[in-house]
Amino acid sequence: MKHVIVCTVAALSILIFAVLCKAETKVLTDGKGMESAHTFTFDDKETLADWTITSDVTIDSTKGRGDGRSSLKVAPGGKALLKLRDGDESGKVEIWVYDDGTVPENPKLGRLGPRWGLVQSDGRLLAVGILYAAYLGGNEGYTATACNGRDWFDQLSWLGVNRRPAGWHKWTFDFDPEVGLQLFHNDKQVNSPDARKTGLEGFSAFAVWGDQDKGRKQTIWLADLSVTLGGPVNLPPTIEADPYNEKTVAAETAPSRPIIVYTEKNAPPAPKLEDLPQKQSVSQYGITWTFEKPTRVGQFVNGDWYVVGPVTVKVIDPNPLYGNEIPRAELDSMDRQRSQEHRVRNGFMLNPPAKMEVAYDSGVRNWFTPSLIQHLPVAMKSGDSLVSTISMPKNLILHAQLRNKIERGVDDSSPIRTAAVLTCVGEPQPPDAFRPAFCDREQRIYLARNLKRDLLPAAKATESIPAIQQYIRFTRRPWVGTCFFGFEEPVENMPQYGLEYGRVAGISALLLCTNLEPQQKEPLLVNLVQVGIDLGGIIRAGHPGWTGWGGHGSGRKLPIVFAGLLLGDDQLANINKSFPKASFGEDEQTAYGPCWTGAKVVFAGHSGIDAASGQGRSRGSEWGPYEHTPPSQWGDGQNTSESYRRCCTSIGWVAQALALRLMHAEKSWNHDAFFDYVDRWMYEDDAAFVKKIKEATGRDHDKDWARQGQAWDAFVNEMWAKHRPRLETPIDGWKQEHDETRYRKAIAE
C-alpha cells in the first residue's frame, strides 16, 4: 500500500504548514494509503517562506492563470528550491509554466535556458527545460536533462514538445514506485528518461532554475504547484544477458539428433502418417504451441516443427497479451502512443505478409500494423506458417550478434526477443526436408540430399578461425525480419544492424568454404541455406528488398544466392536477374564510375542507387552518389556518406566478396562493381586521401577502424591475405575502365 504525506497550504499561515509537515513521519506510516495533493498558489510572499531562494525570484501579482491570481516569477539567474522531505521516495509534482517564447540571438550556441524539475537528496536531478546547442532545437521545443546539477548536458532526452504557442504549459512529473518516472505535457505522456539510468531513486525536492546566460534573456512564471508525496520506490533491477556467449552457445548447439550429411546415397524416405508421433503440444526456443487435440507432428532438417493439418492451435506459451493485460510497468514509449486496444505482447502472425507490416508487439516502430493483430485459437491448414514471438521485457539488456546491445524502448531497439515458426503441411516430409519459407504459401520443399556441396571449396583455414558453433548459433533460429532498420527483428534470432548482418552472412559462408570436415560444417550449411530460403521466399512473395540506407540493407543477398546455388534453384541463385527491382544494399551502394581518388569504381552513397528506378537516392539530404566529386565540394550529406562508407558498410562486405569469389559465384551475383569495389577497399592506399578529406572538410577518418585495407574481423583479414591473391580474377579491376552508364544516369536523375 502506498503511504502519502498530506500538507495543505494555500492562504494558511506558515505556522500551520510547519505543524503539518512535522507530522510527516506519522502520516507516512498511518497505513491508510490515502493520497492528497498539497497545492501552492503563490498568492503572497508568505508562500515562499519554505523555499530556498537565490537571486531574482519573486511573487508576480499581475500574471497568473486567472483573474486575481499570482505566479512565481523566476528571472534570469534566479533559483528556487522547495524541500519536500528528507528521503528520496515516489510521488507526483504538477506545475504550470508560462513560456513567452523568448529565444537567444543564436539558438545553436550552447547555453542554459530556464529549467524545472525534481531533485534527489544527493543533488542529482531530472528537469525539463529550454536548452540550446547545435544538436538541440531549444528555440523549438523542450528537453529533459538528467545530471548532477552541474553537467546539464550529461544525459538529454528530446521530448518532441513544441514551445509554440507562447503561454501556459502544464508539466507533470509522476515518479511511480513501480513504473518509474513518467513525464506529461498538458496531461499527455511524453518520452521519459529511465530513472535507473539517470541515477534517480526518487526525489526529495522540487526546483526551478532561471535562464543563465547573457544576451536575450528569458523570464518564466510558475503557477499552481501541486505535490503528492508517496512511499518508497521499488523498481526492478536491469539485467544484462548474452544469448551468444560461449557457454550458452555450447548448450544450444549441442546436437539433440545425430548430424547426418544427407546425399542421394543415404536419402531417407518420407515417413507414413501413422509413423509420426501424436503430440498435444510442441516447443521450440521457449515457445510452446498446444493443439486442440493430439496431432501428428514432425521436424524439418533444421529442427523446426511441422504439423500435418488441418490443426487448431488453442494455446501459445508465453501467452499473448493484449490491452490492459500488459502490466503498466512494461509499457514503453511506443506502447504509450497506441490506444489500449492496439497494444500487444508475445504476438503471433499466421502467414505474415511479405511487407513492412507486422503485429507481433506494439513496441515496434514504424511497421506496427494494428489491423494485423491476431487472437487465439488459430486454425491452420496445409500451406500455412505460424510465426510466434516472445517479447522483450523492460529492464532486460540483450547482447545481439557480434556487437549491439538491445533494450526495449531505447533508441531504435527491437522489442522482440525471439521467434519460432510452426508450419502446417498436407503430408509427412522426409527427414532431410528444409522448412518452406514462412512467406511461401506454395510451400516449395527443398531436400538436403540435393545440396551441391561440391561447389564449396576447401580453402585452408587460418589461425583466427572462429568457433563454428558461434555461427551455427547465429543462423539457427529463423531470420523472420520482413521490415527494415531492425525495428522488428528478434534479438535472439538474428543480427540487428546491416553491418553485422553482412558480417554474419559473410563469415558463415566463408567458414563453409574452408577445409573443415563436412560433419563439422553440415549444421551451419543447413542453417545458412534455410536463411536463404526464407529471405528468397520473402522476395518471391513481393517484398521490395532491403535498400542501401547507411549501414542498413547489407547481408540479405548472399544467403539467397548461396542457397540458390547449393540447391540448384536458378531463380534464387540469380536473384537480381529474377527480380531486378528488388533492393540489396551492397549492390545499390557500389557502382562503376569515376572516383576522385582515381579509382574506377565508387561507393554510391549513404542511400545509393535505387534498383527499381536507377535514380540516385538523395532522400532530401544529398545522400546519393558523391565520390565523383572532390572533398572540397562535399556538404553535410556527402560527408555523411563518406562516414558510412568507412564505418558501417565496406568493412563488413569483405567476407561476402571473398566467399563468393572462392565459390566462383560472381556470375550469379551479377553485380561486378561490388567485387571490384571490395578489392579497391582492400588494396587502395588511402593515406593521402584521408589527409585531403581532412584538409577540405575538417573530418578526420584517420582512425584504425576507419581506414581502408581491412575487414572488421581478423579471420577475414587473414583469409583475404592468404587466398584472394591466388584467385584467377585480377585484383586491379577497380583501376580498369568499365561501363559507367548506370552511375552517370543515377547522377543525372
| Average pLDDT rounded to a whole number, residues 246-267 | 93
CB-based burial, 22-49: b 16+ in 10 Å, e otherwise: eebeebbeeeeeeeebbebbbbeeebbe
| Model confidence band, residue 26 (pLDDT cutoffs 50, 70, 90) | very low
> What is the rounded end-to-end Cα distance, in angstroms, of the chain?
66
If asked whether residues 41 and 71 sit together in one domain, one would say: yes
If asked whether residues 204 and 293 sit together in one domain, one would say: no
If asked whether residues 161 and 254 sit together in one domain, one would say: no
Least confident of 29-38, 120-129, 334-343, 648-657: 29-38
If asked whether residues 39 and 72 sit together in one domain, one would say: yes
Q: What integer pLDDT is reported at residue 735 of this predicted model?
A: 98
Are the CB atoms for 593 and 625 separated by under 8 Å?
yes
Q: Is residue 572 part of a domain?
A: no
String of DSSP letters for 491-515: TTTS-SSHHHHHHHHHHHHHHHTBS
Per residue in 166-190, pLDDT (tens digit) is 999 999 999 999 889 999 999 999 9
Burial class (CB in 10 A: 0-12, 13-18, 19+), 632: exposed
Query: Whole-prediction pTM value?
Result: 0.89
Q: Strand 590-592 relative to strand 396-399: parallel, antiparallel, unpaired? A: unpaired
Q: Is residue 325 part of a domain?
A: yes
Burial class (CB in 10 A: 0-12, 13-18, 19+), 615: middle
If asked whether residues 220 and 302 sit together in one domain, one would say: no
Q: At 88, list the grid cell.
A: 528520496
Backbone angles phi, psi at 54, to 5 degrees: -125, 130
| Average pLDDT rounded to a whole number, residues 431-438 | 98
| Model confidence band, residue 18 (pLDDT cutoffs 50, 70, 90) | very low
| Model confidence band, residue 24 (pLDDT cutoffs 50, 70, 90) | very low
Check pLDDT > 70 for residue 481: yes
Calpha distance 111→148 (Å, rounded):
17
If asked whether residues 622 and 734 sit together in one domain, one would say: yes
| Model confidence band, residue 596 (pLDDT cutoffs 50, 70, 90) | very high
Calpha distance 537→579 (Å, rounded):
12
Per residue in 139-158, pLDDT (tens digit) is 999 999 999 999 999 999 99
Element (H, E) at 585: helix 585-588
Q: What integer pLDDT is reported at residue 213 of this predicted model?
A: 79
Number of H helices, E strands in the chain: 19, 32
Least confident of 327-341, 482-496, 683-697: 327-341
Give the 3-state secondary structure of 428-494. Answer: CCCCCECCCCCCCCCCCCCEHHHCCHHHCCCECCCCCCCCHHHHHHHHHCCCCCCCCCCCCCCCCCC
Q: Is residue 520 part of a domain?
A: no
Q: Which of 446, 731, 742, 709 is nearest to 592 (CA)?
A: 742
Domain boundary residue among 229, 263, 283? 229
- DSSP character for 319? P
Calpha distance 227→86 (Å, rounded):
15
Domain boundary residue among 198, 229, 260? 229
Are the CB atoms for 181 and 193 separated by under 8 Å?
yes
CA distances from 421 to 140, 389, 467 (A): 46, 9, 27
Is the link from the previous residue into 165 a cis peptide, with omega within 30 of 0?
yes
Calpha distance 418→492 (Å, rounded):
5
- How many domains does one find in the chain? 3
Per residue in 537-576, pLDDT (tens digit) is 999 999 999 999 999 999 999 999 999 999 999 999 999 9
If asked whether residues 268 and 217 sit together in one domain, one would say: no
Question: Which residues sit opposite 18 in a β-bridge?
Answer: none
Domain encompassing residue 376 = 240-445
If asked whether residues 224 and 245 sit together in one domain, one would say: no
Give the 3-state secondary structure of 180-208. Answer: EEEEEECCEEECCCCHHHHCCCCECEEEE
| Average pLDDT rounded to a whole number, residues 191-203 | 88
Q: What integer pLDDT is reported at residue 196 of this predicted model?
A: 83
Burial class (CB in 10 A: 0-12, 13-18, 19+), 290: middle
Q: At 225, list the grid cell.
A: 504547484
If asked whether residues 327 and 411 sit together in one domain, one would say: yes
If asked whether residues 244 and 180 sit together in one domain, one would say: no
Share the mean pLDDT of the chain.
93
What percentage of the chain carries pLDDT values higher than 70?
Answer: 95
Q: Which of 74, 19, 14, 26 is nearest to 50 (CA)?
A: 14
Calpha distance 695→63 (Å, rounded):
55
| Average pLDDT rounded to a whole number, residues 569-585 | 98
Check pLDDT > 50 for residue 8: no
The residues, ordered by sequence, that sit 6+ positions from 312 with a Cβ below 8 Å of its Cβ are 291, 292, 377, 378, 379, 380
Q: Could you identify the residue written with the cell 504476438? A: 347
Calpha distance 691→699 (Å, rounded):
9
Q: At 165, list the grid cell.
A: 504557442
Calpha distance 529→243 (Å, rounded):
22
Calpha distance 137→314 (Å, rounded):
51
CB-based burial, 655-676: b 16+ in 10 Å, e otherwise: bbbbbbbbbebeebbbbbbbbb
Per residue in 604-626, pLDDT (tens digit) is 999 999 999 999 999 999 999 99
Q: Sheet harboring 396-399: ordered strands across?
A: 239-241, 396-399, 405-407
Residue 251 amino acid letter:
A
Greatest Cα pair distance in the chain: 97
Q: Is residue 503 part of a domain?
A: no
Q: Is residue 176 part of a domain?
A: yes
Pairwise pLDDT comparison (16 vs 344), residue with the higher score: 344
Q: Is residue 491 part of a domain?
A: no
Q: What integer pLDDT is reported at residue 33 of this predicted model?
A: 41
CATH number, residue 102: 2.60.120.200
If asked whether residues 48 and 169 sit together in one domain, one would say: yes
Q: Is residue 2 part of a domain?
A: no
Domain boundary residue among 183, 209, 229? 229
Q: Is residue 367 part of a domain?
A: yes
If asked whether residues 350 and 216 sit together in one domain, one would say: no
